[in-house]
Structure 1
Amino acid sequence: MAPTRTLFERASTTTTTSSASVSCTSAVPDKYGHVPIDACDAYYNFYPSFDGNLAFAVLFGITTIIHLVQAIVYKKKYCWVITMGASWELAAFAIKTIGAHDQQKLAYVIWGTLLFLLAPLWINAFVYMTVARMVYFRIPEKKIWGVRAIRLGTLFIWLDVVCFLVQVGGGSMLSSDNSASTIRLGQKIYMVGIGIQLAFIVLFGGMTCWFYYRLAQLEGHSNLGRIKYLIWTMITVLVLVMVRIIYRLCEFGPGVSEDNPILANENYGFLLDAFPMLLALVLMNAMHPGLVLRGPDSDFPSLSRKEKKALKQQKKQEKAQRKADKKARKQGGSGYEMYDSVVEEETPRPTNGRYETYREHGREEHGRHQRDSGHNSSQELMA
């Protein structure tokens, strides 16, 4: 009996007996399109479970709806990130469910696999964003390990984006339409992406533990309230993401030979990838950030449209002021009286008083110029 070949090995075979590679066989698909693993048009290393994929699709659908409702109820705009992660898991298993009864459709294999591989990146990013907001909310200096809370989330999200792009590049090469060498390269690229992601998660997990320690120092363990449960929920989610990453490293690490049983058993993916991510989403349903992040400083400050317009106008006026100063120095005049009137007329005053008006700025500059001019005149008279 010929040894069983994996999906990746089959990609390099041809139907011609004159080829140097092992020939694949022709087979008649069953009612769901399934053919033996050594057939030329076999896209699965296993017989996909319709019931298993459907069950996960339903469960991910439920948690997706709950996250969407919670984002609206708690008015947390950034929760679109976790909703996106849950919806990608839902889409992945919906496609896998359809593909289980139409196994000759390659598009179902590609999109189901790609969404399944990439969805956890959204969940990971949501943890970064939540912990950064907790630091901003409860730490007086609003930073940890010298990194400001506002920049903390942005920094790790961009690192997550890099991991995302690397994994997309590798994952897109795992189609059985590609050659075996291309698929192996895609495997390696994807493993690099998740390896980098794992390193960032370990680093961020350390920062989160330190945040908990620092907060306990400031407020005392008994006074932390719900936030301690939210912190431990975030740490648990990071651990679940790590479990999933380690599984993927073990899956692709040994290579694509028939000696790797992980590639030929769908249950590994259910147990070590789908279930940890489902559990992570459910935990964040139960201990949603909206239960804790309430009141002042519970979210990063943002400007209204009117304030953004005022700030933009302010920057334009600052640029005009610098030009006026330069021209005034050359001509020996101040130019501030004209500037003062222009600013008073054109520059809108922000409603919350966070920004200085140009009219006040112009007056200060004008007064300083007048004092300097008077001082110079006095020196000339004394001389």
Structure 2
Amino acid sequence: MRLLILVPLASSAVALAILPTPTPALVPRDTSASPSPTAAPTDIYFSTTTYDIIPGVTNDHVTIAQKTITLVIPTCSHTVTPDKNGHVPPGTCGALYEYYPSFGAAVLFSLIFGALTVSHIFMAAKFKTRFAWVVIMGALWETISFTFRSISTRFQQSSGIELVSSLFVLLAPLWVNAFAYMVLGRLLYFFHPARTIMSIPASGLAFAFVALDFISFVIQLVGGSWSGPNDPTNKVMQGIHIYMGGIGLQQFFIFIFLGLAIKFYLEMKAFERQGSLDAGKKGWMKLLWATYASLGFITIRIFFRLIQFSSGENASTNGLISHESYFYILEAVPMVFAISCFLVVHPGTVFPRGEKMPGLWGLIRGWLCCVKQRREFKGSEDGVQLVGKYEELENEGRPPGYVLTPRGRVDLVY
């Protein structure tokens, strides 16, 4: 029995020994580098592409095919969890500031500008200085700016609050600037015997510079609104360049204005030496110096902004945007002094109470009347009465103590 079992095993062994053993085919090793997984982008900023489909229109008059619009939206990935105030480190997604903004400093300056606003309202009401609403608006806009900045320090993920604060602080100085122009126009009207400087009438001077200031205001508003914290980089840079052009234009107008102010000063001093000015009217000089000082502080602030924006947006190389102290020292403090100058020497203490300077329409009407009178004078045989009417027209509204004589000079009336 065992022999019968061994017979097949023996035959199998003989077959294996006689027949050749097949060699297995070897697959060569793949020497190419194995693909590595795609690394995640390290930059927090990227673009998201969306597709919007505009359906087509078909009617009896026109056929418009369906269109697909591709929108590339810049966005960023949040890599850091904001703290309780919404702050994240500079350079990360959602960072609105290049530093940790101070809540206490923002509240302090909002209170200071609020106090300046209330003080100007009180002084304007006390002396009935109607045009003081312009400087009141400047102080009020500064108050609004720092109030929103105080809120922004507690909600640092809200770009809207930060944008409101930035726009108001960028544009508020233009109100104070315009007020300085109006002050010089009224100094010229109420104190200068001829009421003109370099053939420019007082009303025309004030109107021209306020109009130029408004042009600068519009340019800066456009530039500031394009420089939101979440706007694309190219749009932010365009907004910065537009804003820099606006404040550069503002400073150019200030230089021209200062030249006219110096001319006014020199002429007034000449009138004093000649004894042509009323001895009781000496307040013009201190108000003029207050105007100089206010524009000087505004100039400090303008140069700070020009240097800040021209130095780039890199916080590591531009210390003016990475340290909050520069903002308060070179932006907030100069504006506090610029507004305070007109409290130290308030126009209501210098100009006649209740008096007002004619506006643009009064200037045009007076010019047309003068032209008409001159034409009638040239065509009239009896010009004596017309000369009297012309002198009366020219002297209408002049400060007490000044009249225009037929000889063309200004004399005092006692």
Same fold per TM (> 0.5)?
A: yes
Counterpart contact for 1:137–1:299, Cα < 8 Å? no
Q: How far apart, CA to CA, are the structure 2 residues paired with 1:227 and 1:144? A: 15
Secondary structure in structure 2 of the residue aligned to 1:30: coil
Counterpart contact for 1:45–1:265, Cα < 8 Å? yes
Counterpart contact for 1:110–1:175, Cα < 8 Å? yes
Q: How far apart, CA to CA, are the structure 2 residues paired with 1:143 and 1:291? A: 23
Q: How far apart, CA to CA, are the structure 1 residues paired with 2:237 and 2:44? A: 11
Counterpart contact for 2:79–2:93, Cα < 8 Å? yes
Counterpart contact for 1:15–1:40, Cα < 8 Å? no
**Structure 1 partner of 2:45:** 13
The answer to whether structure 1 residue 125 and structure 2 residue 157 are counterparts is no
Counterpart contact for 2:91–2:98, Cα < 8 Å? no
Name stretches of at least 5 consecutive residues in structure 2 with no aligned partner.
1-42, 49-71, 366-391, 394-414
Question: Of 329, 333, 338, which residue of structure 2 is paired with 1:271?
Answer: 329
**Structure 1 partner of 2:213:** 160
**Structure 1 partner of 2:195:** 142
Secondary structure in structure 2 of the residue aligned to 1:14: strand
Name the structure with the higher strand share: 2
Show the 5 A alignment for 1:195-274. 195-220=248-273, 223=279, 225-257=282-314, 258-274=316-332
Which has more radius of gyration? 2
Secondary structure in structure 1 of the residue aligned to 2:45: coil
The answer to whether structure 1 residue 292 and structure 2 residue 345 are counterparts is no
1:176 positional shift: 1.8
The code of the aligned residue for 1:48 comes to P
Identify if the C-alpha distance between structure 1 residues 22 and 212 changes in structure 2 by more than 3 Å, giving closer, same or farther: same
Q: How far apart, CA to CA, are the structure 2 residues paired with 1:231 and 1:261? A: 36
1:15 positional shift: 7.9
Q: How far apart, CA to CA, are the structure 2 residues paired with 1:177 and 1:160? A: 29
Identify if the C-alpha distance between structure 1 residues 254 and 218 changes in structure 2 by more than 3 Å, giving closer, same or farther: same
**Structure 1 partner of 2:378:** none
1:76 positional shift: 1.3
Q: How far apart, CA to CA, are the structure 2 residues paired with 1:158 and 1:302? A: 13
1:13 positional shift: 2.3
Question: Of 235, 239, 243, which residue of structure 2 is paired with 1:190?
Answer: 243
**Structure 1 partner of 2:34:** none
TM-score, reference length from structure 1: 0.72
1:38 positional shift: 2.3
Q: How far apart, CA to CA, are the structure 2 residues paired with 1:76 and 1:295? A: 7
Q: Deviations over 1:161-195 (max 9, x none)?
A: 00000000000011022100000000000000000
The answer to whether structure 1 residue 93 and structure 2 residue 146 are counterparts is yes
How many residue pairs were aligned? 294
Identify if the C-alpha distance between structure 1 residues 295 and 140 changes in structure 2 by more than 3 Å, giving closer, same or farther: farther
Identify if the C-alpha distance between structure 1 residues 231 and 148 changes in structure 2 by more than 3 Å, giving closer, same or farther: same
Q: How far apart, CA to CA, are the structure 2 residues paired with 1:267 and 1:238? A: 22
Q: How far apart, CA to CA, are the structure 2 residues paired with 1:195 and 1:238? A: 14
% identical aligned pairs: 33
The answer to whether structure 1 residue 179 and structure 2 residue 232 are counterparts is yes
1:25 positional shift: 5.0
Secondary structure in structure 1 of the residue aligned to 2:171: helix
> How well do the aligned residues superpose, as a CA RMSD in angstroms?
2.7
Counterpart contact for 1:25–1:38, Cα < 8 Å? no
Counterpart contact for 2:297–2:334, Cα < 8 Å? yes
Name stretches of at least 5 consecutive residues in structure 1 with no aligned partner.
1-10, 312-352, 355-383
Identify if the C-alpha distance between structure 1 residues 295 and 96 changes in structure 2 by more than 3 Å, giving closer, same or farther: closer
TM-score, reference length from structure 2: 0.67
Q: Deviations over 1:79-120 (max 9, x none)?
A: 110000000000000100111111111111100000000000
Counterpart contact for 1:15–1:25, Cα < 8 Å? no
The code of the aligned residue for 2:322 comes to A
